[in-house]
């Protein structure tokens, strides 16, 4: 999904796996995308990612 987005666009991802918190932090650190917000409510985790400024076709996307 991130690969098809324009630089600077935001994507909201919902997850129920508690390990997703560490996974999204690591993903953003490794790919250069920004984790602009995250939270948890009722067992659901919400992440807002901002597409990095320069596309990288070699970077994995969720």
What's the domain count of the chain? 1
Is residue 59 domain-resident? no
Query: Domain residues for 9?
Result: 2-50
Residue of 17, 39, 16, 35 lying closest to 25 (CA atoms): 35
Q: Are 19 and 61 in contact (CB under 8 A)?
A: no
Closest CA to 14 of 49, 35, 34, 44: 44
Q: Give the domain CATH number at 12.
A: 3.30.110.40
Q: What is the pTM of this model?
A: 0.80
Beta strands per DSSP E along the chain: 10-15, 34-41, 44-50
User: Is the residue at 60 inside a domain?
Assistant: no
Residues 12-44 pLDDT 10s = 999 999 999 999 999 999 999 999 999 999 999
**Does a structural domain hold residue 62?**
no
In the predicted structure, residue 7 carries a pLDDT above the cut 70: yes
Residue the block writes with tokens 């901002």: 50
pLDDT at res. 27: 96
């Amino acid at each position: 999904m991130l690969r098809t987005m324009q630089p600077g666009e935001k994507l909201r991802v919902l997850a129920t796996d508690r390990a997703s918190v560490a996974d999204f932090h690591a993903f953003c650190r490794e790919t250069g995308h920004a984790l602009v917000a995250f939270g948890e409510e009722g067992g659901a985790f919400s992440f807002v990612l901002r597409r990095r400024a320069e596309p990288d076709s070699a970077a994995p996307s969720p």
